[in-house]
Amino acid sequence: VKAAFLKPGISVPSRAGSQLQGTPVVPRQSRRRKSLAIAYEAGPGDGAEPRQARWEPPRWREQLQRIRQMRSGRDAPVDEMGVHRCYDSSAPPEVMRYQVLLALMLSSQTKDQVTSAAMLRLRRHGLTVDNVLQMDDESLGQIIYPVGFWRNKVKYIKQTTAILKQKYGGDIPSTVEELVQLPGVGPKMAHLAMHIAWDSVAGIAVDTHVHRISNRLQWVKKETKNPEQTRVALEEWLPRDLWKEINWLLVGFGQQTCLPVSPRCSQCLNQDICPAAKRL
């Protein structure tokens, strides 16, 4: 840089390291110190970013304990006729797992009493992969009727059973990712199948009861629109050792107390700490 273009009070070192005479020089060390000071201003003293606490609902542990107390009788429909009661526990493991999956497929949009009765009729006909594949659609429909959407379920059961025979040797997949690829199997069914058939907790099984109650208790940071959104929201904060229990607890609680319409708030131990109780 030529001296003719320099403004007064500015110095520029030459290529040889010399400086123009009569111009002040800002020491390099002070520049570095200023830069370091700016870098540390955002930190809490040592430059580290402050750690954000994980969100969780207020008083959720107290609410959960009271739900456990209300469910201690284990006398809801899910306790007596849920999927875990629908399969033949004396059957070979792969047959047992197949029956669990079929019970889950039948249970969608269907009361536990109706699912349980349909499963009993199927088992009387021999509920195995080979036997179901040999049934014609009309016979299968007569057996499972009156489960919800029974015509669609006949189609899904036959398609899924054929896939299990061809791809899995008559057993069911052992991952959620593979289970949800089967016709008629959604995320809730897949997670319950993992819980019951494989004794593995891969996620929270969220049905309409769990979805509804989680929003009423505000166990989600913001309102969720469907069970799958609720599952993701719950898994962000709920301790993993509770993932298997929460479905059983909330389903029975939803069947007996926190009903979809006209919930029995006056009978609920959480009435004083439920965000929704005063609005219902």
Catalytic residues: 188
Q: What's the burial of 77, exposed, middle or buried (CB within 10 Å: 0-12/13-18/19+)?
A: middle
> What's the first-to-final CA gap in the chain, in angstroms?
78
Number of other residues whose CB lies within 10 A of the CB of residue 23: 13
- Whose tokens are 């959720």? That residue is 60
Packed helices 187-197 and 243-256: angle between N→C axes, nearest 10 degrees: 110
